[in-house]
Amino acid sequence: MKKFIILGIISLTIAVAVSFIPLIAENMLPTVATQTPIKIPYHETVYASGSIGYKEQNNISTSIPVVIEQVTVNEGDFVNIGQIIAYVNKEATLTMLSGLSKYNLSELGADNLSAAAEMIPKEIEASHKGIVIYKANNGEIVQSQQPILTLSNSDELIANLSIKESDISKIQIGQRVDLSGAAFEKNTYYGYISKISSSARKNYSGTVSETVVDVQVSIKNPDKNLRSGYNTEASISTEIPRDIYVLPYDLINQDEEGEYVFVVSNGAAIKRYIETGIELEEGAQILKGVAPDERVVKNPEQINKNTAIKLFSADSKDSITDN
């Protein structure tokens, strides 16, 4: 009789112990939090810089950098075509050009310094007519294609922007442009692309150049605080807003095969390679590899490939942590 009692106790003990095995095993699993990809509205933006000017406005410039000796007109004067508007200090200009590399000289259309010297004009004539709204200072170095004089025949303000050649394919007539600037930081102006130059040009800053295309923006809400000559920064909306899905950067890992995340599937964290796109402040756009409703492990450093996991208490099939 005692023998059967002892066997019964042993059997009961084993049964109880066995019943606790799943619980013990579960408690040994790594606990992870998850989240689904975040849906955010997005539209691609091109950034550019430029200046505020008048619509019927023309710049008088030269094909090479020059040192201005004297400007012969003042702001407010009316200038006719062919009128001499400035004299060039040829000696100072040649000294300045001698500091350019052979590559920079070739971009100006000169094979060497002697050829560049022959390109230096003694005087500059007006190629357009109008009222002077801007003039360079005596003794100033004016870069090629930059205004020595700006003439206007209109009082309608526009924004003149320089778009990098790598971005110009994204620009179209009618796109919205938001304008900001140090001189009008309390005000925001907007407009639409109204004109795109048919040709590109070299934009020089010292000895550094880049290829740009000039774009004109019709400003829709000008006021007395906006003036011709102000510098401006522009953001151009190049497409209709659309929804994209992103994951925070700390959820994304990378190895020699590419970027990957751990996706929850049947109680396990499955390593899955993904394809990312646009990089934003919120995270990277997910192009391939994760569906919008799939849960991605937020603390991937705790697990290995295809590891069984225990979800954080807030996680369930109907409740997924999003922060």
Residue 7 forms part of a structural domain = no
Given this model, what pLDDT does residue 10 score?
55
Distance of CA 74 to the CA centre of its chain: 39
Boundary (domain end) residue, out of 237, 267, 282: 237
Domain match, 60 and 149 both: yes
Q: Got the DSSP string for 230-275? A: -EEEEEEE-S--EEEEEE-GGG-EEETTEEEEEEEETTEEEEEE-E
Domain match, 205 and 271 both: no
Both tokens of 101, joined, read 């590399």
Which residues, 6+ apart, have CB-to-CB distance to 176 below 8 Å?
A: 190, 191, 192, 236, 237
The CATH number given to whatever domain includes residue 294 is 2.40.420.20
Q: What is the CA radius of gyration of the chain?
A: 34
289 pLDDT more than 90: yes
Domain match, 227 and 149 both: yes
Contact between 79 and 85 (Cβ < 8 Å):
yes
Domain match, 227 and 281 both: no
Q: Got the DSSP string for 88-107? A: E-HHHHHHHHTTS-HHHHHH
Domain match, 232 and 251 both: no
Domain match, 108 and 212 both: yes
End-to-end, the C-alpha distance of the chain in Å comes to 62
Both tokens of 107, joined, read 């971009």
Contact between 95 and 167 (Cβ < 8 Å):
no
What is the rounded CA–CA span in Å between residue 304 and residue 296?
14
Nearest to 165 by CA among 51, 48, 43: 48
Residue 306 forms part of a structural domain = yes
Domain match, 107 and 174 both: yes
Whole domain around residue 71: which residue ranges?
A: 47-237
Domain match, 227 and 264 both: no
> Is residue 33 very low, low, confident or very high in pLDDT (cuts 50, 70, 90)?
confident
- Lowest-confidence region among 22-26, 252-256, 292-296, 309-313: 22-26
Q: Which residue has the higher pLDDT, 83 or 265?
A: 83
- Digit-coded pLDDT (tens) for 107-131: 778 888 888 888 899 999 999 999 8
Percent of the chain with pLDDT over 90: 47
The CATH number given to whatever domain includes residue 159 is 2.40.30.170
Residue 41, SS3? Answer: strand
Residue 1 forms part of a structural domain = no
- Digit-coded pLDDT (tens) for 170-181: 999 999 999 999
Domain match, 97 and 181 both: yes
Q: Which amino acid is at 280?
A: L
Sign of CA dihedral 288, 292, 293, 299: positive
Residue 3 forms part of a structural domain = no
Domain match, 173 and 193 both: yes
Domain match, 76 and 222 both: yes
What is the rounded CA–CA span in Å between residue 91 and residue 120?
10
Residue 159 forms part of a structural domain = yes
What is the rounded CA–CA span in Å between residue 164 and residue 203?
10
273 pLDDT more than 80: yes
What is the rounded CA–CA span in Å between residue 234 and residue 160?
10
What is the rounded CA–CA span in Å between residue 310 and residue 267?
7
Boundary (domain end) residue, out of 213, 237, 261: 237
Q: Give me the number of domains the chain comprises.
A: 2
Domain match, 109 and 213 both: yes
Residue 266 forms part of a structural domain = yes
